[in-house]
Amino acid sequence: MGKISKRAGLAVSVLWVYTSVLVSACFFAGGESNREENVPRQASSGNEWKPSGITGSGPPASELPPEHITLYVPAGEVPKDLQQVNKAVSDYLKAKINATFEMTVIDWGSWKDKINLKIAASEKFELVWTVYWDSFSSRVQQGAYLPLNDLLDKYGQTAKNVIDPVLLEGGRFPDGYNYGLPVNKEAGSQFGVLLRKDLLDKYRLDPSKVKSLEDLEPMFEVIKRNEPNIVPFYTEQNAVSANSVTNALNYIDLAFFGALYRNSNDFKVINKFEDPLFKEGLMLQRKWYESGYINKDAAIITDFSGGIKSGKAFSFVEWLKPGKAEEESSSLKFDWVQVDLTKPFIHTTDTMGSMISISRTSSNPERAMMFLNMLYSDPYLVNLLSFGIEGKHWMKVDGKPNIIKLPDGVTAQGSGYNPGTAWMFGNQFLNYTWENENPQKWEKLKAFTEQAERSRTLGFIFDMTPVRNEIAAYNNIMDQYGPGLLSGTLDPEKYLPEFLQKIKSVGGDKIIAELQRQLDEWLANKKPL
């Protein structure tokens, strides 16, 4: 088989599922601090922010009635000191917007089911973290999230001025509204692999030699032969989100299985599952599974981060950015080395890679927006939510006010607050930098965004309404075949044709045709972002 990454021209593919998962939350709610990304082209370093009084639009706290703000976020595990952090945030917000605060952290394995249940039951809450692959589009169409434009204009001017317009425009729905406020981070993504540094050093393995996915195989063989309790390539049932080798292929994903060839000059939508290159990626994953490089429970595992932290993994694949390895080293116990296999690329999904939405059941959307607005201008609040309480969970490095470290005697695993969720809150360029990270981290992320190629379909969002029934039927088939095919557990030679036939039988061609129609219409009317 050819070198997949080279044949793909080192081109990044944005998650092939796109709206497929948006509709159903599908089968990959797993994640931890990995599913992410998106940020402004001209992002500020954040060091100049000096908030005082109200840090966003709205009246002074003394003129506001008391309010309670609730926020739901996912993480690898629930932090032991979460309530202490909630109290510290509440104490701070009382003086700013006369509000108390409660953030509820739900483990990734339970996230999809618990949030779906809260939404279905019309449970009252203010805010929820969201991302394009977490049923975002379907929840918007169900009316679960409020449109934010008017609230942003009135109570979120700071956020509106900070967020790169490409993020707001790229994530705007066909009705003209935004339903999630994007986190201000790097825009774009690239695909690659993270390798355990201690094992690289132990066996003198050179990561600089890895230029394609196949180049990993000699390393895998060394680990398999010498470390029987460690999985060379660790993956999970949500392989479709980040952990499948097919993400290195040469596609611009539109929705479901509809895609464009990235290097093509036309806009002809294809069924990616029918493409020989996609099958080649599935066959590579299958080869690794049969060679014993992949964990045997890959199609059913739910606690991905738990497996990594327990030392089971030598490598896993991920969406990368400058400094990703250092971020993961802080939260996943071991030190990691990253190897980039694709070039930076900005797709519509990158503009919706980390957002916070206001629930339709919110008792006070205006106050919720005031709180969100603060997250884009207030370093104290952003770092409190991201890293916990100064002196207890982190401390500043002497003489370096924006560099932090763990307090003496505290480890990342022993800290009572290390949720790995810093990429979920407001303006990430306000975050402090850990001492193990590059002090030029934010400058490098700005450069990363500036260098990223923009998708030819940036800003296109598929309206699923005309083919809603076909999509529902497709999702059932995806639930049946997706985890096995994408993890290498199922043989593509046998099951891919069966999968394709079933897709066609429930109206797959109709979905592709509708995608083509909407894309043509969008191209005829699009404005540059």
Beta strands across the sheet bearing 127-130: 99-107, 67-75, 127-130, 355-358, 181-182
pLDDT category of residue 50 using cuts at 50, 70 and 90 = very low
Instruction: Return the residue matching tokens 């840090």.
Output: 55
Residues 438-448: tens digit of each pLDDT: 888 888 888 88
pLDDT average, residue stretch 417-438: 91
pLDDT average, residue stretch 208-222: 95
Closest CA to 321 of 164, 184, 189, 183: 189
Token duo for residue 212: 């394609």
Closest CA to 85 of 220, 75, 522, 314: 75
Residues 67-115: tens digit of each pLDDT: 999 999 999 889 999 999 999 999 999 999 999 999 999 998 899 899 9
Token duo for residue 510: 């109709």
pLDDT category of residue 313 using cuts at 50, 70 and 90 = very high
Whole-number Å distance between alpha carbons of 156 and 167:
15
Structural contact between residues 484 and 495, judged by C-beta atoms closer than 8 angstroms: yes
Residues 338-349: tens digit of each pLDDT: 999 988 888 888
Whole-number Å distance between alpha carbons of 252 and 458:
10
Residues 360-410: tens digit of each pLDDT: 999 999 999 999 999 999 999 999 999 999 999 999 998 888 999 999 988
pLDDT average, residue stretch 167-193: 88
Q: Is 156 helix (H, G, I), strand (E, B) or coil?
A: coil
Q: Which helix (H) or strand (E) holds 182?
A: strand 181-182
pLDDT of residue 253: 85
Token duo for residue 499: 């999968």
pLDDT of residue 529: 56
Instruction: Return the residue matching tokens 């700013």.
Output: 96
Whole-number Å distance between alpha carbons of 488 and 246:
11
pLDDT of residue 238: 59
